């Protein structure tokens, strides 16, 4: 297991992804004794994928539905891939399918060009109809893979790889730019989709475990499956920083809406300039007033598990508060310090205590 090929892990442009830190995370958890792992804030499944490669039974979770589909595609799915005929079906027009124009009508001149919006409408309608080709047990994973490939393609074409602003003009204005990559922004959806599908197909494998993907609020998780390893990578709340700056629904609402087209139009805030979606539940993890209680709740729920927390200083709660909570629930503390160079891939200066819970401190 020491020869894991981290370069072969799926790539992503998702904000906060731990993909580049996986070698270090692996180095520090590989000696821990656990069989079943829960990734509470799974994102695009980088850490879950590492845990699956380690041969553990993995439960992936994320409250954003488009992320959940990536967890379903790479963690729950063990053998289904997309073939050339699937790609042809997804990217072609079919007389038997009735196409709608929701993205074209709703998001004109906000995120993508009219031609690109038309392509998205076509793709989403085709994606829905994959269920008419395959049995549902196969179609669910075909859909998850295809949507995950679309989501990563969509991020490549966005300034800042986000949907927090209606800033299509940044792509289209003929001005000298000091940031971004216009060539990437202007690449076609179809080109990127084929590339990402190829990468995802290579990443599908069977680790001989019954892995699961969940789409739940972290605070609603329970320990019925007797999980013995829990990884927490929540949004990093900081003093003086607006909650909107750590709100992942705000960053990726377009993709979350596209992942559930049937309800998308009913969840949009049409008074917002960028037609963002309303979050239909209170997210205590982005609230400085509520996230302490949310941490306590999870620590209590999984108090018998190995708990791994990714943390960024200065954060809320403070490091000492998290340590106090862990000790209160009799969770032993195993601490590793990650210095500034770690963000550039240089891992040194680690301080160790031989105990059970890892609390990486990701310094600014």
How does pLDDT run across 316-344, given as a tens digit for each residue?
A: 998 888 888 887 876 654 443 332 223 33
Please give the pLDDT value at position 240.
77
Per-residue pLDDT at 44 exceeds 80: yes
Spatial separation of the C-alpha atoms in residues 44 and 71, rounded to whole Å: 7
Dihedral over Cα of 327, 330, 332, 337: its sign:
negative
Average pLDDT over residues 97-115: 97
CA distances 291 to 73, 251, 328, Å, are 30, 19, 17
Instruction: Determine which of 65-69, 79-83, 108-112, 348-352 has the lowest per-residue pLDDT on average.
Output: 348-352
Q: By the 8 A CB rule, do 247 and 58 touch?
A: no
Please give the pLDDT value at position 243.
78
Question: Which residues of the chain form CATH 3.40.50.150?
Answer: 1-78+210-364
Please give the pLDDT value at position 7.
87
Residues 6+ apart with CB under 8 A from 311: 236, 319, 322, 359, 360, 361, 362
Spatial separation of the C-alpha atoms in residues 163 and 274, rounded to whole Å: 8
Please give the pLDDT value at position 238.
85
Please give the pLDDT value at position 146.
98
Instruction: Determine which of 92-106, 122-136, 237-251 has the lowest per-residue pLDDT on average.
Output: 237-251
Please give the pLDDT value at position 141.
98
Instruction: Determine which of 31-35, 258-262, 310-314, 358-362 has the lowest per-residue pLDDT on average.
Output: 358-362
- The model's pTM is 0.89
Please give the pLDDT value at position 340.
28
Per-residue pLDDT at 144 exceeds 70: yes
Per-residue pLDDT at 175 exceeds 80: no
Please give the pLDDT value at position 362.
33
Query: Could you read off the pLDDT of 65-83 as tens digits, one per residue?
Result: 999 999 999 999 999 999 9
Please give the pLDDT value at position 180.
66
Average pLDDT over residues 257-282: 92
What confidence category does residue 153 fall into, taking pLDDT thresholds of 50, 70 and 90?
Answer: very high
Percent of the chain with pLDDT over 90: 65
CA distances 133 to 100, 143, 148, 336, Å, are 20, 11, 19, 50
Please give the pLDDT value at position 330.
63
Domain 1-78+210-364 has CATH 3.40.50.150: yes
What DSSP letter does each residue of 276-292 carry, written as one string? PBPPSS--GGG-TTTHH
Instruction: Determine which of 1-5, 66-70, 283-287 has the lowest per-residue pLDDT on average.
Output: 1-5
Per-residue pLDDT at 352 exceeds 60: no
Please give the pLDDT value at position 349.
37
Please give the pLDDT value at position 189.
97
Spatial separation of the C-alpha atoms in residues 72 and 58, rounded to whole Å: 11
348 against 220, higher pLDDT: 220
Please give the pLDDT value at position 177.
66
Q: By the 8 A CB rule, do 211 and 124 touch?
A: no
What confidence category does residue 38 fall into, taking pLDDT thresholds of 50, 70 and 90?
Answer: very high
């Amino acid at each position: 297991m020491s020869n894991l090929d981290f370069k072969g892990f799926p790539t992503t442009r998702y904000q906060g992804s731990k993909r580049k830190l996986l070698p270090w995370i692996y180095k520090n958890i590989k000696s821990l004794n656990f069989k079943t792992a829960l990734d509470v804030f799974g994102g695009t499944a980088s850490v879950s994928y590492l845990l699956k490669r380690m041969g553990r039974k993995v439960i992936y979770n994320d409250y954003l539905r488009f992320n959940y589909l990536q967890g379903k595609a790479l963690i729950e799915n063990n053998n289904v891939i997309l073939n050339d005929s699937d790609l042809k079906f997804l990217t072609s027009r079919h007389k038997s399918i009735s196409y709608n124009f929701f993205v074209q009508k709703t998001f004109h001149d906000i995120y993508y060009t009219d031609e690109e919006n038309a392509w998205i409408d076509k793709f989403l309608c085709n994606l829905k109809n994959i269920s008419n080709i395959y049995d549902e047990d196969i179609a669910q994973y075909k859909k998850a893979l295809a949507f995950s490939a679309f989501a990563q393609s969509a991020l490549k074409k966005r300034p800042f790889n986000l949907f927090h602003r209606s800033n299509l003009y940044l792509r289209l204005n003929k001005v000298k730019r000091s940031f971004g990559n216009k060539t990437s922004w202007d690449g076609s959806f179809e080109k990127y989709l084929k590339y990402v599908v190829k990468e995802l197909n290579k990443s599908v494998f069977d680790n001989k475990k019954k892995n699961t993907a969940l789409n739940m609020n972290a605070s609603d998780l329970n320990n019925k499956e007797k999980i013995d390893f829990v990884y927490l990578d929540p949004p990093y709340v900081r003093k003086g920083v607006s909650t909107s700056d750590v709100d992942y629904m705000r960053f990726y609402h377009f993709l979350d809406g596209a992942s559930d087209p049937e309800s998308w139009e009913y969840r949009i805030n049409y008074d917002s300039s960028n037609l963002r979606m309303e979050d239909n539940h209170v997210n205590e993890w982005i609230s400085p007033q509520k996230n302490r209680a949310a941490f306590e709740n999870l620590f209590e729920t999984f108090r018998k598990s190995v708990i791994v927390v990714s943390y960024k200083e200065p954060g809320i709660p403070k490091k000492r508060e998290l340590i106090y909570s862990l000790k209160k629930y009799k969770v032993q503390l195993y601490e590793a310090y990650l210095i500034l160079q770690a963000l550039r891939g240089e891992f040194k200066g680690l301080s160790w205590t031989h105990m059970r819970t890892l609390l990486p401190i990701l310094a600014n």
